[in-house]
Amino acid sequence: MSSLPFAVGTYSPRNLSKPHSKLLAKNVDKAVTSIKWSSNKQNISPIEQLNENRRVFQRREAVGFGLCFGLLEAGQLQLPQPSAVAEEAPCELTLSPSGLGFCDKVVGKGPEAVKGQLIKAHYVGRLENGKVFDSSYNRRKPLTFRVGVGEVIKGWDQGILGGDGVPPMLAGGKRTLRLPPELGYGTRGAGCKGGSCIIPPDSVLLFDVEFIGKA
């Protein structure tokens, strides 16, 4: 134990006064416990060990985030999709007199929507070049709206309610819609800012719609 004062650096028994002896003795006991503990951890003190654990955790976090972003950039990480509507095989569109094209991928078995009814629908919206501009699946939340009263674009109301040669959708059904500009966002486009638009003016739009049912 003669080397203990040199290891701790705070204890010298020849210079102790009684008021401080108990306090320093407690500090020495703590130091001895610390030294015994560190001898079993390759001479690393508890504080150093804690800092090392933090550094290891931070390295693991950095590696994890780096791997995630690397896979995203490489296209190897597939984000979960609640439905495969956008990936289903395309079907042949039927053209209605209004110019709306439609094709049922899945015919629903539930009731059809009623004008003014609050309904829920999932969708993926694409430009004619295939670029996706919006998807409720990515938000993991369907769109809720009153159908047939102008809360959505005309092509949606007609494509779900039916009419003018288009049969109504049934709950549980999945339908592809092709909207000419006059049934979509027309000459104004949508999402325009600083001279560029998410949906350019006079765009033909394609929607994969899943009619979930009444909200």
Q: Model confidence over 38-62: pLDDT tens digits?
A: 444 445 555 565 455 555 434 333 3
pLDDT band for 91, please (50, 70, 90 cuts).
confident
Nearest to 155 by CA among 131, 198, 190, 130: 190
Which member of 35, 44, 133, 202 is catalytic? 133
Q: Is 6 annotated as catalytic?
A: no
Whether 20 is covered by a domain: the verdict is no
pTM of this prediction? 0.59
Structure tokens at 159: 């494509």
In Å, what is the CA distance from 162 to each residue of 18, 37, 168? 97, 77, 4
State pLDDT tens for residues 188-200.
999 999 989 999 9
Domain annotation covers residue 200: yes
The closest of 166, 116, 171, 169 to 146, measured between CA atoms, is 116
User: Is position 60 within any domain?
Assistant: no
Residue 29 in any domain: the answer is no
Check pLDDT > 70 for residue 99.
yes
How many structural domains comprise the chain?
1
What CATH number should be reported for the domain holding residue 201? 3.10.50.40
102 annotated active-site: no
pLDDT above 90 (res 11): no
Q: What is the mean pLDDT of residues 198-208?
A: 97
211 is an active site residue: no
- 61 assigned to some structural domain: no
What average pLDDT is seen over the chain?
74
In the set 123, 137, 145, 211, the catalytic residue is 123
